[in-house]
Amino acid sequence: MSKLQISKNRYYAYRSFYPEIATMKKFRAAGVDTYSVMISNVFNALGTPYTKYPMVWTAKDTYDLDAATAPFRDILKEIPDAKFICLVDLNTPLWWTRYLGAHGARFDSYVDLGRIVSSSLWRRETANYLKVLLRHLDTVLDRRIRAYAFGCGGGTEWQDRNRAGGSLFRLAAFRKWMADKGKGDSVDIPSITRRECGSREFASFTGKEGIDRNKVSYWYGYGDSEVDPLIRNSEHGGLFFDPETDAEVIDYFTFINDEMAGTIDYFLHEAKSVVRPEVELGAIYGYVTSIGQYMLSQSGHLGYEKLLQSPALDFLLAPATDGKMGGGSGSHCVVGSIHAYGKEMLNSSDNKTSTSKGPDGQDMNPNWVTWHDEVQVKAGIKRETAINLINHTSLWFFDMWGGSFSDAAIETVAQCKKIWDEEVVLPVVENSQVLMLVDPKNLMYLNSMHQHCHCFHVPWKMLLSRCGAPFLIASFNDLPKLDMKRFKLVIFCHPFEINARDQRMLDEYVLNQSRHVVWTYGPGIIHDRRWNPEHVKE
């Protein structure tokens, strides 16, 4: 057993896109005093504004700071003792994208984040906006803001959603990255056909993975009238990239994730230079455990180990997973790694109820509803509270566009908040005996566009979440930091390449005790940068 040594804050909060002040007041009566306020200048993926307040960044070097203050002021009128976690969306507004934006000079960061993150102009102007905003809020809100969380890209989740497409900025950064790694000056970014089709396949997964990917795909619930069938129904062969023939593709995806983590770290340090020392900083980043097609290496989230080393980072933020009744919840992120670096995890309970509203009061898409009646809502609130207490993580309830929580549901929140306040101050001892290990290095060998790229980790995550036994998810590189003596079962999700360093770690920390070890597929099938199935036997 090991005692967690983490000095970060633990949050139990409420979030909504819109100013659901009546609901906020009820949450305050239930004991919740911390609220998330979002500041955004863009539209969401459904084509509606993220918030009900005017944009703040209105023109070059021009900011409507009254618009930034307005949501806080409206809440404080009704809840004078409110505290805040401010979610700052760093996506650039449409006017910025259009201004002299021809011929690849500028891109829409919401869908083309990876194409613009290496632009010095974009970084500089976005950082200038960020620092003006934070200085203003710190001045006028009198220490009300406990933390800032930064988002950008698709869903404001630092997701690159352009299928790893190129730009002059990305090409220049990739060439420099390759040169710095001693890999020579890469001529060009790998083509889309190379990026989306691996050279190695695997046996069919049909009926084996226990998940209907059609019901969890990005386009689920939308037909040909809304999404071009060429996009929605596309097939991508080759589950694995070959370390020889696809070497440049693997390097490119490694670069993408490294660059994204470095970009977030840049903004964290810019923010750190202007906020009070006690204000915590976080980012919506590090999704691994529950993602697959269109995500993984293409989205840029696999650089989380680099970001966790940043002294400017206090916490990662992500939606909770597996939210339906019978599901085990948990995090998109690798919580064991986050804690190993002394950081905190903030899980967002994004579960929609039968009464949840859609944008502008529209009906909620029924495919998105996870809690279908009052009994399920109450059970879900209890589960989310319990899992975050057990895992030493933070929690907010995300009431997206309002309407999710009845008075009876908020009474359950009050009961849970009382338990939270009693339990959260107690020392936490990590005593799980099951360890699930992911490996971001080896995830670069998987074709993110393949419909089965999730099958090495998502089924394990779901099975463990639902089995009722405590478990820990960490990364392969965390092995020296973990108390390995207590683990009786170790699951390696991505053991494809085991180099000499990896083998030494396995011998020292894993293969030296009487325990069960599960290799999800082909341990060491990649050896000396070659695809070598015979090496698995060794």
Helix (H) or strand (E) holding 491: strand 489-492
**Model confidence at 210, in pLDDT bands (50, 70, 90)?**
very low
Diameter of the chain measured on Cα atoms: 69
List all residues 6 or more positions away from 80 whose beta carbon is below 8 Å from its beta carbon: none
What's the pLDDT tens digit per position in 50-73? Answer: 999 999 999 999 999 999 999 999
Please report the beta strands in 354-512, taking only residues with DSSP state E, as ranges in sequence order. Answer: 369-371, 394-398, 429-430, 434-438, 471-475, 489-492
Residue type at position 215: K
Distance CA 419, CA 495 (A): 40
Taking the CA atoms of the chain, what radius of gyration do you get in angstroms?
Answer: 23
Q: What's residue 312's pLDDT?
A: 98
What's the pLDDT tens digit per position in 347-360? Answer: 999 999 999 999 98
Alpha carbon separation from 108 to 42, 149, 296, 457 (Å, rounded) = 10, 21, 21, 32
Distance CA 376, CA 367 (A): 16
Q: What's residue 538's pLDDT?
A: 75
Closest C-alpha to 337, from 436, 431, 413: 436
Is the pLDDT assigned to residue 208 strictly greater than 70? no
Is the pLDDT assigned to residue 252 strictly greater than 70? yes
**Model confidence at 218, in pLDDT bands (50, 70, 90)?**
low
Is the pLDDT assigned to residue 340 strictly greater than 80? yes
Distance CA 58, CA 315 (A): 30
Q: What's residue 225's pLDDT?
A: 75
Q: What's residue 360's pLDDT?
A: 87
Pick the range with the lowest mean pLDDT from 225-229, 299-303, 319-323: 225-229
DSSP H helical ranges for 46-108: 65-78, 94-98
DSSP H helical ranges for 3-81: 21-29, 65-78
Q: What's residue 5's pLDDT?
A: 63
**Model confidence at 184, in pLDDT bands (50, 70, 90)?**
confident
CB distance 5 to 388 below 8 Å: no
Q: What is the DSSP letter of 167?
A: -
Q: What's residue 359's pLDDT?
A: 92
**Model confidence at 108, in pLDDT bands (50, 70, 90)?**
very high
Q: What's residue 187's pLDDT?
A: 77
Nearest-10 crossing angle of helices 65-78, 120-140: 40
Q: What's residue 322's pLDDT?
A: 86
pTM to 2 decimal places: 0.94
Alpha carbon 255 to chain centroid distance? 18
Q: Domain 2-171+250-425 is in which class?
A: alpha beta
What's the pLDDT tens digit per position in 462-476? Answer: 999 999 899 999 999
Q: What's residue 87's pLDDT?
A: 98
CB distance 398 to 348 below 8 Å: yes
As beta bridge partners, residue 315 has 282, 344
Distance CA 484, CA 474 (A): 12
Is the pLDDT assigned to residue 189 strictly greater than 90? yes
Q: What's residue 14's pLDDT?
A: 98
**Chain region(s) in the chain for CATH 3.20.20.80:** 2-171+250-425
Tokens 């980072």 correspond to what residue?
A: 313
Mean pLDDT of the chain, nearest integer: 92
**Model confidence at 3, in pLDDT bands (50, 70, 90)?**
low
Q: What's residue 326's pLDDT?
A: 86
Distance CA 512, CA 470 (A): 23
Distance CA 293, CA 289 (A): 13
As beta bridge partners, residue 145 has 84
